[in-house]
């Protein structure tokens, strides 16, 4: 047998020329030592069978891997810090937006509450004025009822003196005429409603019918029926309480009550309600005397 023992190789594959040279030198030195030892030993010496672990460069590879791991860890830490910074900015922006939204909501609620309070105030003021107007009309109607109960039911001789023309009157109405005039004037300011017969809304013929009823006189409900009653008189010879009409006598479309002094009271239309106007504001077509 040869005096040189077989040495199993446990080395990793060569990666570079420098590594190969280093490993060759180490192997040569080891083999030389074994050869010298074999020459100096007895002739019958046992062959060398011990396996010798050769030094490797694994430590160098481990160092490179560690450096890569450190670099990766540093990069990960940097990315995490960046993510945390972005998250902090997002949280701050969300908090700011929430505060602004809360402030805007509070301001909107404050304005809405102020508007509701103003609407309630205006509504209360309107109701107060309407209540005062109703109280005034109720008072006038109460006084009118007392006056009506004291007259004799009304006759054509109670109509007061005649006016020399439609714009003048020398004596205030009395008796039934006074009751009719007072009732009509007490409704000034009431609403106009088609088909209305009171107590707070009227149409033209509903007002005339109610005024005459206050004096104890029943009239038909429709305007052309009312203008067909009594005796026709000229507009230059009117007395308080006369019924004015617009259109033909048997086909009138509007009626009102002459109240003296060249004026009349009537339920005109939805925009004006019950009003008092002079004769020249809307000159009637004719008049009839029912008293």
Measured between alpha carbons, how far is residue 29 from residues 3, 18, 33, 36 in Å? 16, 17, 6, 11
Nearest Cα to Cα of residue 144 among 197, 212, 239, 204: 212
Q: What digits encode the pLDDT tens for the residues 24-48?
A: 554 555 455 454 445 544 545 455 4
pLDDT band, very low/low/confident/very high, at 66 (cuts 50, 70, 90): confident
Domains contained in the chain, CATH given: 1-56 (no CATH), 156-289 (3.90.1720.10)
145 phi and psi, to 5 degrees?
Answer: -65, -40
Q: Note the pTM of the prediction, 2 decimals.
A: 0.46
Could you identify the residue written with the tokens 């020398």? 170
In this structure, is the dihedral angle defined by the CA atoms of residues 13, 18, 20 and 23, taken in order, positive or negative? negative
- Cβ-based neighbours of 19, under 8 Å, separated by 6 or more: 57
Nearest Cα to Cα of residue 159 among 87, 250, 231, 67: 231
Measured between alpha carbons, how far is residue 215 from residues 146, 148, 200 in Å? 11, 6, 19
Q: What digits encode the pLDDT tens for the residues 212-253?
A: 999 999 999 999 999 999 999 999 999 999 999 999 999 999
Nearest Cα to Cα of residue 205 among 274, 146, 103, 144: 274
pLDDT for res 235: 96
Q: What digits encode the pLDDT tens for the residues 81-122?
A: 888 888 988 888 998 999 889 889 988 888 888 888 888 777
pLDDT for res 169: 44
pLDDT for res 170: 40
> According to the 3-state scheme, what is the secondary structure of the chain?
CCCCCCCCCCCCCCCCHHHHHHHHHHHHHHHHHHHHHHHHCCCCCCCCCCCCCCCCCHHHHHHHHHHHHHHHHHHHHHHHHHHHHHHHHHHHHHHHHHHHHHHHHHHHHHHHHHHHHHHHHHHHHHHHHHHHHHHHHHHHHHHHHHHHHHCCCCCHHHCCCCCCCCCCCCCCCCHHHHHHHHHHHHCCCCEECCCCECCCEECHHHHHHHHHHHCCCCCCCCHHHHHCCCEEECCCCCCCCCEEEECCCCCCCEEEEEEECCEEEEEEECCCEEEEEECCCCCCCEEEECC
Q: What digits encode the pLDDT tens for the residues 175-206?
A: 899 999 999 999 999 999 999 998 999 999 99
pLDDT for res 159: 38
Q: Is the pLDDT of residue 56 over 60?
A: no
């Amino acid at each position: 047998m040869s005096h040189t023992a077989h040495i199993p190789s446990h080395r990793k594959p060569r990666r570079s020329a420098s590594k190969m040279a280093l490993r060759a030198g180490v192997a040569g030195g080891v083999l030389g030592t074994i050869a010298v030892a074999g020459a100096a030993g007895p002739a019958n010496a046992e062959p060398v069978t011990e396996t010798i672990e050769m030094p490797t460069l694994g430590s160098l590879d481990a160092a490179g891997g560690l450096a890569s791991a450190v670099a990766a860890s540093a990069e990960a830490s940097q990315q995490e810090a960046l993510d945390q910074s972005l998250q902090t900015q997002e949280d701050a922006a969300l908090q700011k937006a929430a505060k602004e939204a809360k402030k805007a909501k509070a301001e909107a609620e404050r304005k809405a509450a102020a508007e509701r309070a103003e609407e309630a105030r205006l509504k209360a003021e309107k109701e107060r004025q309407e209540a005062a107007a109703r109280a005034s009309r109720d008072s006038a109607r109460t006084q009118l009822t007392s006056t009506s109960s004291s007259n004799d039911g009304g006759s054509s001789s109670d109509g007061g003196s005649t006016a020399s023309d439609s714009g003048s009157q020398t004596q205030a109405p009395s008796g039934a005429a006074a009751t009719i005039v007072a009732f009509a004037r007490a409704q000034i300011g009431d609403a106009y409603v088609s088909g209305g017969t009171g107590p707070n809304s009227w149409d033209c013929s509903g007002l005339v019918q109610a005024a005459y009823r206050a004096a104890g006189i029943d009239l038909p409900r429709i305007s052309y029926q009312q203008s067909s009653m009594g005796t026709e008189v000229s507009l230059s010879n009117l007395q308080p309480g006369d019924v004015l009409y617009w259109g033909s006598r048997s086909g009138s479309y509007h009626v009102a009550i002459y109240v003296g002094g060249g004026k009349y009271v009537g339920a005109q239309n939805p925009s004006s309600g019950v009003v008092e106007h002079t004769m020249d504001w809307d000159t009637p077509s004719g008049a009839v005397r029912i008293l």
